[in-house]
């Protein structure tokens, strides 16, 4: 296994769980240690502190992550949460999830600034990219990925991105039960790796590329077997500890790959 790029399985709980459910779910994940990979869970904002505290108390080997992060340091930004506020509790934060792009009209430049803020606070930035069904139908997948990567990297210029994670999440596969085929996931993640090789050469070996979109215990192993898939960002299946843990186990079984 490459110590530089361990497999990462991250759960995005979205706007789900009560506080009690969150603590039970976190315990169901945290109480099972899966070695050889990294595990992260992204609970809703108000549960970050109680979940992180429980994790410390019980010695869980999991990273607590936020589902979003402000691009700004501080000031008059009602409702926003800065990287410095997250950092005491979180080791990771998502930027540019397709639901934020869609419902909150986040631009590639804003998302890149979020990546910069997250990285600046020493957390793992997870840059989410992916094409819609219409873009896929129009054969625009690579153009879209290129635009999203280019826009975010331009805005994040100068930031130390040595912890960067890129999550390839085709919008048409998110929450639909229709995951990308292993061939599609392999092609898109290889494209992303190629883009990094060309435009961010120093990051190509360390950047983990995740697949996200209807990952389940049944399809995880096939996706993880693709050379440029370094793990998964899991939505629905991360809300059941047993399913999420099976996905972690599938990653651990494949965690012996060398750097490509």
169 lies in the binding site for ligand PGA (CB under 6 A): yes
Which H/E stretch holds residue 178?
A: none
Does the annotation count 169 as an active-site position? yes
CB of 10 to ligand PGA, least distance (A): 8
Nearer to ligand PGA, 7 or 159 (CB): 7
Q: Say if CB 36 and CB 255 are below 8 A apart.
A: yes
Exposure string over 208-230, b if 16+ CB within 10 A, otherwise e: bbbbbbbbbbebbbebbebebbb
243 lies in the binding site for ligand PGA (CB under 6 A): no
233 lies in the binding site for ligand PGA (CB under 6 A): yes
Instruction: Output the six-digit token pair for 203.
Output: 């990051």
Nearer to ligand PGA, 159 or 164 (CB): 164
One of 6, 44, 50, 175 touching ligand PGA (CB under 6 A): 175
Q: Say if CB 112 and CB 161 are below 8 A apart.
A: no
Catalytic member of 72, 80, 97, 106: 97
Nearer to ligand PGA, 26 or 159 (CB): 26
Q: Say if CB 125 and CB 95 are below 8 A apart.
A: yes
- Judged by CB under 6 A, the stretch of 83-91, 148-156, 168-176, 189-197 that binds ligand PGA is 168-176
């Amino acid at each position: 296994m490459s110590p530089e790029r361990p497999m990462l399985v991250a759960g995005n709980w979205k706007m789900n769980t009560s506080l009690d459910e969150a603590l039970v779910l976190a315990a169901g994940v945290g109480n099972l240690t899966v070695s050889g990979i990294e595990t992260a869970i992204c609970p809703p904002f108000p549960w970050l502190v109680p979940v992180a505290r429980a994790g410390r108390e019980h010695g869980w080997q999991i990273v607590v992550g936020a589902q979003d992060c402000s691009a700004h340091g501080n000031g008059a930004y009602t409702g926003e949460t800065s990287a410095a506020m997250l950092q005491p509790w979180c080791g990771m934060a998502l930027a540019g999830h397709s639901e934020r792009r869609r419902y909150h009209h986040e631009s590639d430049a804003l998302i890149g600034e979020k990546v910069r803020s997250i990285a600046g606070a020493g957390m793992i930035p997870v840059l989410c990219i992916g094409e819609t069904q219409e873009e896929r139908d129009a054969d625009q997948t690579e153009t879209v990925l290129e635009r999203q990567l280019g826009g975010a990297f331009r805005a994040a210029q100068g930031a130390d991105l040595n912890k960067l994670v890129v999550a390839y999440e085709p919008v048409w596969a998110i929450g639909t039960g229709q995951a990308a085929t292993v061939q599609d996931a392999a092609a898109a993640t290889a494209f992303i790796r190629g883009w990094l090789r060309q435009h961010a050469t120093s990051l190509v070996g360390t950047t983990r590329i995740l697949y996200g979109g209807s990952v389940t215990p049944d399809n995880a192993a096939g996706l993880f077997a693709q050379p440029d898939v370094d793990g998964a960002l899991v939505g629905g299946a991360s809300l059941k500890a047993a399913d999420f843990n099976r996905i972690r186990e599938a990653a651990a079984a494949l965690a012996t790959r060398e750097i490509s």
